């Protein structure tokens, strides 16, 4: 089945640094979603991307839908301690067309921020 590969698996950065992470697949996705999971909580949607090439921002977060439809990138600028958490990319499986609504998730990128 379709899979999403995220890298890096984990990151340790200094407060104020910019962060970049990506998500790739061997097959096409028509929607890319980025979620953040705080420790002990459920994932929360950060950014949704629906068109190839689309670049969308949400505050200090910027995500891009790759033009090949096989990848997506998430950047965080000027990181702060509350950015700590696990970032997941996700997308609906091909052929779903939104009729089922279930998602395939990557394994996540764990972000640690040193004050």
Segment 66 to 105, residues that bind another protein, using CB under 8 A: 88, 90, 92, 98-103, 105
Smallest separation, CB 6 to another protein (Å): 8
Instruction: Give how many residues touch another protein by CB under 8 A.
Output: 25
Which own/partner contact pairs does 105-108 have at CB distance under 8 Å and 24+ positions apart? 105/4, 105/35, 106/4, 106/5, 106/6, 106/23, 107/5, 107/6, 107/9, 108/6, 108/9, 108/37
Name the residue nearer to another protein (CB basis): 101 or 115: 101
Please list, in sequence order, all residues whose beta carbon lies within 8 angstroms of the beta carbon of residue 91, skipping any fewer than 6 positions away: 4, 25, 29, 30, 31, 32, 33, 103, 104
33 binds another protein (CB under 8 A): yes
Q: Which of 83, 101, 95, 71 is nearest to 4 (CA)?
A: 71
What track of x and - describes contact with another protein for positions 48 through 67 (by CB under 8 A)?
A: x-x-----------------
Name the residue nearer to another protein (CB basis): 43 or 66: 43
Name the residue nearer to another protein (CB basis): 17 or 100: 100
User: Distance (Å, rounded) from C-alpha 89 to C-alpha 46?
Assistant: 10
Which residues bind to another protein, rule: CB under 8 A?
1, 4, 31, 33, 40-45, 48, 50, 88, 90, 92, 98-103, 105-108
């Amino acid at each position: 089945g379709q899979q999403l590969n995220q890298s890096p698996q984990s990151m340790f950065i200094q407060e104020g640094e910019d962060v970049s992470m990506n998500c790739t697949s061997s097959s096409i996705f028509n929607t890319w979603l980025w979620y953040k999971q705080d420790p002990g909580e459920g994932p929360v949607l950060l950014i949704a991307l629906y068109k190839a090439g689309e670049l969308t921002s949400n505050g200090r977060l910027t995500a891009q839908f790759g033009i090949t439809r096989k990848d997506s990138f998430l950047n965080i600028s000027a990181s702060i301690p509350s950015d700590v958490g696990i970032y997941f990319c996700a997308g609906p499986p091909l052929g779903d067309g939104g009729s089922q609504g279930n998602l395939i998730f990557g394994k996540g990128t764990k972000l640690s921020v040193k004050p």
